[in-house]
């Protein structure tokens, strides 16, 4: 693996974990574990898969950064994180990825969480 690629992956990984510090504690713990698992799982993928993986996580980091800044500016309103998953992206997922997404949703919607996820098209704040 080229050194530039490795440093890009590490920088993105660190950036995401830093961004997670702004999340509510339960969501942070869930997000941190998911990120660690996904980055570990994709250590040995091919070049094309690695590029797509990095692009998707860079989009995630950008959205989370934007939402964190918006939440700071609107400190009197309820904190809101998340985005709807477009159906066309969902259709591109493999069965294994759909299973992972379902497991993540089940974990995120367990009782006693400080956040909730719904099946609506727009994130609920």
Cβ 56 vs Cβ 64: under 8 Å: no
Q: What pTM, to 2 d.p., does this model score?
A: 0.75
* 49 C-beta neighbours (distance < 10 Å), count: 11
The residues, any chain, with a CB within 8 Å of residue 82's CB and separated by 6 or more, are 67, 117, 123
Q: In the structure encoding, which two tokens stand for residue 39, read together?
A: 């980055």
Q: Which of 30, 23, 14 is nearest to 72 (CA)?
A: 23
SS3 (DSSP) at 10: helix
The pLDDT profile of the chain, 125 residues, written as one tens digit per residue, is 455 678 899 999 999 999 999 998 988 999 999 999 999 998 888 888 889 999 999 999 999 999 999 888 887 777 788 888 888 888 888 898 888 888 888 887 777 555 545 444 455 55
């Amino acid at each position: 693996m080229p050194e530039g690629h490795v440093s890009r992956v590490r920088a993105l990984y660190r950036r995401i974990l830093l961004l997670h510090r702004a999340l509510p504690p339960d969501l942070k713990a869930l997000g941190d574990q998911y990120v660690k698992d996904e980055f570990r799982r994709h250590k040995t993928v091919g070049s094309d898969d690695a590029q797509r993986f990095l692009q998707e996580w860079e989009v995630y980091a950008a959205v989370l950064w934007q939402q964190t800044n918006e939440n700071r500016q609107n400190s009197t309103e309820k904190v809101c994180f998340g985005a709807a998953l477009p159906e066309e992206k969902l259709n591109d997922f493999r069965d294994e990825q759909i299973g992972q997404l379902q497991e993540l949703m089940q974990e995120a919607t367990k009782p006693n969480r400080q956040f909730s996820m719904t099946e609506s098209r727009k994130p609920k704040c």
